[in-house]
Each structure stands twice: as C-alpha cells, then as structure tokens.
A and B are shown apart, each in its own frame.
Chain A
Amino acid sequence: MIDPHSTTLLSAVLFCLGILGVFVRRNVISVLLSLELMLSAAVLALVSFDSTSAAIGSTVDPTAGQGLAVLVLTLVTAQTIVGLGLLIAARRTGAPLDPEHAGTAQW
C-alpha cells in the first residue's frame, strides 16, 4: 500500500502549484485550469483518506470519500462550463478577457 503521507504531500504540492498558477498567469484559460488543478488535489486527498480509513479498518463509511470525490469532480465540471461560457460571452460582448480588468466589464 502507498504511504498516505506521500499522497497527502502530493496533494499539497498540487494545490500549491494551482495557487501559483492562479497568481502567476494572466491568461483566463490558464487561471481556470489552475483552479481545476487545485480541485483535483482535493479529490486526491479525499481518495487518499478514503483508502487509508479502509485500510486501518475505520468505522467511517468506506464509500464516503469516493462519493465526495465524485461530487467534487461534478462541481469542477460545472465550474469549467460556467467559466468557459462566461469567456465566450465576454468575447461576444467585447468585454476585456484579462482577469485583472474583469471587474470593469459591462454585461
């Protein structure tokens, strides 16, 4: 079995890389992808804790972590579709695509 500390560390590193991407990139698509990377890190943590609790014989429902992971994946998909939809709408209305000027957009 994989050491749960390793998967938690990987999850934390991925989350930090996602935060770095959000702050470093100016491109809206890359910012959205960085947010997804952060949520994927959360999915990894959930699955890791789930498999760990199953391995140590915890009384917690063994399917809870994976169920939550599926829920997070669904939420990430919804977030992606809404974000990309807003991006296309911004393009059509001529609103700025730069995230720093998104607050000044007239919809």
Chain B
Amino acid sequence: MTGLSILFSLHCVVICTAALVGIFTTRGVRTSISCFLLAMSSLAGVFVLLGAHAIAIAQLFFCAGIGLAYFFVAEVLDAAGDGPGRDSKSPRPHSWQWLIIMLGIAGATTMGDLLFGLLSADAPTHSPGVASSTRVLADATGQGSFAAVANTVLVEQGIALIGVGLLLLTALVGGGYLGRRGLD
C-alpha cells in the first residue's frame, strides 16, 4: 500500500464520518453545518491527491464562502426567534469559532497533502488544466523556457501550497483575534 493510498483512505474515512455526523447529529444546526463543510472541504485533499490543484483551491474557497453564508443565515434566523438556526444546547451562538475551526482543519490537511506531494515519489502528475494553460501561455509568448520551468509539478504544487498557506494563515489570525477579543 503506497503512501498515496493511505492518505486517500484517511480522507475517505474523514469525509464519510463527517458527512454521517452532519446528517445524524442532534446537537444543533451549527454542528451539522460544520460537519458538512468539513466533509466537503476535505474533498480538497482528495483533489490534491488526484492532481487537480486548481479545483482543490476552488473547493476550499467555495467551502469558506458558503460557510460564511450558512452561519450568517443561522445568526439571522436565531435573531428572529426560534428557527432552524437555533441551537438548543448552547445559549449563545459560536458560528465564527465553528467556521475558523473548520477552515483550520481543512487548510491543514490540504497543506499536508501538498507537502506529501512535494516530498514524496508518489506525487501525482500535474493537473491537465495547469499544464494546458502554461502551454498556451508559452505558445502565446513564444517562450519555450517558460513552459519548461512552469510546467513542473514543483512549481504548480508550490503555488497551490502558497494558496492553502494563506487560507490557513487567515484562519489562524482570525482565530487568534477572536480568541483575544473573547468571542460570543
């Protein structure tokens, strides 16, 4: 069993468990939202393992965006009284904390996948999308050397790593700020 298969199996377990907990949890809608978002953002790690880095980054930012929207709606419905956003176990909402925890976990696992790709011989080949776009760019500019440099797994994964690193940094800074401010 290669390292890639082990990582993929771990992701499968995390995704399916998070989705099951999201469906069957009775601990309030925020827990459900966080579990579903964790399942969907863990898919970014699978996309990285498949070599589709652009889709992985898009999926992470998609999850962050809809996470904001869902938690915002949960807050609005809570403010309006009893609604689907109400969490009976918790007297006060913790939406931002949930979102930051989810972003942090997803960013960290995807970063781990990218580092694995950079350091391991099992690294997947570069995604066809990036390969194609660099080829088109090289043809347009007439710079063969650009394609030779840019069309490598290292450059592509490095760029993806920076993107996920920024996401993780945002989650950490947000978490630190909210922690200092004393959330809720």
Interface residues of chain A, those whose CB is within 8 Å of chain B, are 1-3, 6-7, 10, 13-14, 17-18, 20-21, 24-25, 27-30, 33-34, 36-37, 40, 43-44, 47-48, 50-51, 54-55, 62-63, 66-67, 69-70, 73, 76-77, 80-81, 84, 87-88, 91, 97
Q: A33's contact among B15, B55, B70, B80, by CB below 8 Å, is which?
A: B70
Distance from A19 Cβ to chain B, minimum over Cβ atoms (Å): 10
Inside 8 A of B40's CB, which chain A residues have their CB?
36-37, 40
Distance from B184 Cβ to chain A, minimum over Cβ atoms (Å): 20
Q: B47's contact among A17, A25, A47, A63, by CB below 8 Å, is which?
A: A47
What residue of chain A has the Cβ atom nearest to residue B12's Cβ? A10
Asked whether B22 lies within 8 Å of A84 as measured between CB atoms, the reply is no
The binding surface of chain A is classed by DSSP as helix
Asked whether B132 lies within 8 Å of A63 as measured between CB atoms, the reply is yes
Whether A43 touches B23, Cβ cut-off 8 Å, given contacts A81-B69, A84-B70, is no
Asked whether A37 lies within 8 Å of B55 as measured between CB atoms, the reply is no
Q: B32's contact among A2, A18, A29, A91, by CB below 8 Å, is which?
A: A29
Whether A1 touches B124, Cβ cut-off 8 Å, given contacts A24-B24, A70-B58, is yes
Asked whether A2 lies within 8 Å of B36 as measured between CB atoms, the reply is no
Q: Which of B129-172 contact A (CB under 8 A)?
A: 129, 131-132
What residue of chain A has the Cβ atom nearest to residue B36's Cβ? A33
Q: How far, in angstroms, from A34 to B39 measured CA to CA in the complex?
A: 11
Inside 8 A of A55's CB, which chain B residues have their CB?
125
Q: Which of B85-144 contact A (CB under 8 A)?
A: 85, 124-125, 127-129, 131-132
Distance from A51 Cβ to chain B, minimum over Cβ atoms (Å): 5
Query: Can you report 20 A-B residue pairs in the complex whose CB atoms are below 8 A from each other?
Result: A10-B15, A27-B32, A29-B32, A33-B32, A36-B36, A36-B40, A40-B39, A40-B43, A40-B59, A47-B55, A50-B52, A62-B128, A77-B65, A80-B69, A80-B70, A84-B69, A84-B73, A87-B77, A88-B77, A91-B76
Which 6 interchain pairs have the tightest Cβ spacing? Answer: A62-B128, A33-B36, A21-B23, A17-B19, A66-B129, A27-B84
